[in-house]
Structure 1
Amino acid sequence: MFKSKISPSTFNYLILITVIVAAGISQGLLLPVLSIFLEQQGVSPGLNGLNAAALYIGSFAMTLAAERLLGALGFKKLIVGGLILVMIPLVLFPYFPDIKIWFVLRLIVGIGDSALHYAAQLWVLLVTTPEKRGRYISLYGMSYGLGFSIGPLGIKLLGFGDAVPFLVLFLGMAAVLILVLMKLPDTKPEKAEHAHLPERRFRRSFAWAWYALLPALLYGYMEAGMNSNFPVYGLRVGYDTDQIASLLPFIGIGGLFLQLPLGILSDRYGRKIILMIAGMGGGLAFMLVPLAGTHFWLTLVLLLIAGGLVGSFFSLGLAYAADILPKVLLPAANVVASFHFTIGSIVGPNLGGQLINWVSPGSMFVMLGCMYFIFGITGLSFRRKREAEFVLK
């Protein structure tokens, strides 16, 4: 008889990875498919974008309650609730093609997506050892990126009927839900065992780990800003739509390639130094994009480098926060990171669009690059507290 060599913690991690791949596929599919439907209905691009913003509004609302919900429900129940909230709208979108109804449905998806991400991220951070935390959280980030890249392939299912992509995704997520219900243990974070939460925990987590929590803001700004503004930039400088469609994915592809190597390097050399180097390198690559003009291959290489270096910012930032904060503050730090990501996702497209309109198309890249470069240099001023300096009440 052969005994399984997979430990319970590794098996739980693989289930969490499966959940995150499914979440990535759902977001990668919903964004383009719903945009196509609204465009076919004659909805203006501005209103189309506003409708898509409902996802981030729902995500923001969830961050305000995530910590207490996790303490009350535990990891498994919060993940199950998040999956159900994402699944329900999937069967309603194709049968209620009204922009107002879709706004509400997207709010629900945003709430569910934020819930399962919050629980899964925190679980990974709490159960991994410091010496392997970088690679584990990087694999987590890669899994979401992989799912997000697979999602748009569901557009091809529209040829079989408008409802088919949604129903296929629903069935896939139902299978993941069954796996979670049957195999994932029902646990709660350690702080749920205490009678009260630490005072000023959000302020303290930011004050003690601000350098580890700012990457979430920068990543949200970059991801949402590039997806919304790069097509406009491309058209303004002279790319055609096919070239734009070919270039944009390489930001994410770079992230997929370098997430794990950067995670492993951060385990070996330290999270802060890797964040500093990646921030400065990625910032310089972004600032060079306008100089490439309409040189397709040069632009592709710069986007690949920039996306690869900063594509792991969210996951590496969380891993760094787990390194330097007491475990009791990690749930609060995770809320702060999610809040930062949401704010960045809202600000990115709006600020980038204003820069394109009022300054120049390339100014969006100059601003983005400067933000990452300044972040990298600022790391010189950050000093982590020694364990004896933490005072919790």
Structure 2
Amino acid sequence: MDITAVVPDQNSTVVPVLGLSFYAMASGYLMSLIPLSLHSFGLSETLTPWLVSGFYLGLLMGATQVESIISKLGHRRSLLLFLSIILLTTLAMIALPSAAVWLVARLIAGFAVAGVFVAIESWLLMVNTAKQRAKRLGLYMASLYGGTALGQLGIGPVGIEGVVPYLVVITLLLMAIMPPLMVTKGQPAHSQAQPLSFAQLKEINRAAMLGCFISGMLLAPIYGLMPVFISDGIGTDKTGILMASIIIGGMLVQPIISLLSPVMSKKFLMSALSLIGVAAVAIIVIANSFALLAVGYMLLGACTFALYPIAITLACDALEVGKIVITTQIMLLSYSVGSVFGPLLAFQVSSNIDKGLLLYLAICLITSGVYMLIKAIIKMRSDKATLAG
């Protein structure tokens, strides 16, 4: 069922942005903490790609189910529910540190994270103009990436050994729960409407869906495998700084996206960012100083983290408010499919080739850049033909 905003001016940004900021700090720390802390819990590092893919499989499952939960409970209560589930799965991991428990916990957490994303994204995007949506999406991405970057920095001072880092994550999740728990007003009014037909679903922009898919193929390995890749190369003490550099790059590019997205071809913008991302990979490979390495990772983050929000706005262009939730759900579904396969493919490449993770990212970025450029050119020629006619 679709969800239709009834009174857009009552749709406040305070609760979703505050909740998202604390969640992002917890998630940013946790995503790097899990692969780096396996040894301290007596678990094998070969479990890493399966934990990442299991998490995103849960995200994929959630992307097909959470819209109906949000429709029944409303945005605020749904957000409370999903954040609480993530907290409980984190508790289960430290209480029962075994491969089976961790795999199941990450699968369930992935389902809940899908709920968090769909609830917050649709909460913010359920407004009537493209300009408002672009502005709110910029705020959303800045909060998400800013919080995630701060969370990455916890690797240094808090560490990766034992239970204490996970207790910090749980504390941050409790803080994320506070805004929707305490503030009961400001969520979008909603009502149940007719579901979208299959014909309407086919009208969703295919380039937008592919953009989300490629984003998943890129970001899941960056979140799940990059911490180990960096740690093996330069040591754990600088891993948090470089991971934070990636996410800060993603955060800094958001205002630029908000300005450019409404006034230029989103397909061309995704193409340009993808190809710049290839250059960022080259900088990382040839870097002969930590400063240049940090610049390369920051540029990589700017390019890879930009694809998802641009794809979302492309999908939502000219949509009625009532179709926003189902559309964000489909975009998350596309992202999740890419996120399930990405870590496994990246792990295979990195296991057989030196700097294979970087090669994998470059291949994904080149593919995305060329495809989006071709689609942008086709659209441009079509528009010119229409005007000429």
TM class, shorter-length: 0.7 to 0.9
Structure 2 equivalent of residue 208 of structure 1 = 204
Q: Which moved more, 1:348-357 or 1:144-153?
A: 348-357
TM-score when scaled to structure 2?
0.81
Cα distance change on mapping 1:73 and 1:142 into 2, 3 Å: same
1:374 paired with 2:370, answer: yes
User: Do 1:215 and 1:314's aligned partners in 2 also have CA atoms closer than 8 Å?
Assistant: yes
* Structure 1 residue 171 displacement after superposition: 4.0
Gaps in structure 1 of 5+ consecutive residues: 1-7, 387-393
Cα distance between partner residues in 1 of 2:235 and 2:156: 19
Deviation by residue 1:10-53 (Cα, 9 ceiling, x = unmatched) = 88212211111122122222233333442124422212432343
Cα distance between partner residues in 2 of 1:138 and 1:163: 35
User: Do 2:218 and 2:342's aligned partners in 1 also have CA atoms closer than 8 Å?
Assistant: yes
Cα distance change on mapping 1:101 and 1:310 into 2, 3 Å: closer
Percent identity for Structure 1 against Structure 2: 19
Letter in 2 for 1:205: L
Letter in 2 for 1:111: F
**Equivalent of residue 326 in structure 2, options 326, 332, 336:** 332
**Equivalent of residue 199 in structure 1, options 191, 197, 200:** 197
User: Do 1:29 and 1:153's aligned partners in 2 also have CA atoms closer than 8 Å?
Assistant: yes
Deviation by residue 1:193-232 (Cα, 9 ceiling, x = unmatched) = 32x312216xx33543122232221222111223455567
User: Do 2:32 and 2:223's aligned partners in 1 also have CA atoms closer than 8 Å?
Assistant: no
1:129 paired with 2:129, answer: yes
Cα distance between partner residues in 2 of 1:229 and 1:172: 23
Structure 2 equivalent of residue 222 of structure 1 = 218
* Structure 1 residue 95 displacement after superposition: 2.5
* Structure 1 residue 235 displacement after superposition: 8.9
Cα distance between partner residues in 1 of 2:299 and 2:348: 26
Deviation by residue 1:164-205 (Cα, 9 ceiling, x = unmatched) = 444444344334434213324375676x432x312216xx33
Cα distance between partner residues in 2 of 1:263 and 1:29: 27
* Structure 1 residue 56 displacement after superposition: 1.5
**Equivalent of residue 256 in structure 2, options 252, 257, 261:** 261
Letter in 1 for 2:198: R
* Structure 1 residue 78 displacement after superposition: 1.4
TM-score when scaled to structure 1?
0.80
1:314 paired with 2:308, answer: yes
Structure 2 equivalent of residue 390 of structure 1 = none
3-state SS of 1:193 partner: coil
User: Do 1:290 and 1:365's aligned partners in 2 also have CA atoms closer than 8 Å?
Assistant: no
Cα distance change on mapping 1:325 and 1:128 into 2, 3 Å: closer
Higher relative contact order at CA 8 Å, sep ≥6: structure 1 or structure 2? Answer: 2
Letter in 1 for 2:148: F
User: Do 2:22 and 2:147's aligned partners in 1 also have CA atoms closer than 8 Å?
Assistant: yes
Structure 2 equivalent of residue 252 of structure 1 = 247
Cα distance change on mapping 1:379 and 1:173 into 2, 3 Å: same
Structure 2 equivalent of residue 20 of structure 1 = 20
* Structure 1 residue 72 displacement after superposition: 2.2
- Residues 337-352 of structure 1 mapped to structure 2, 5 A cutoff: 337-352=331-346
1:281 paired with 2:276, answer: yes
Cα distance change on mapping 1:206 and 1:25 into 2, 3 Å: farther
Cα distance between partner residues in 2 of 1:369 and 1:107: 27
User: Do 1:66 and 1:115's aligned partners in 2 also have CA atoms closer than 8 Å?
Assistant: yes
Cα distance between partner residues in 2 of 1:199 and 1:130: 24
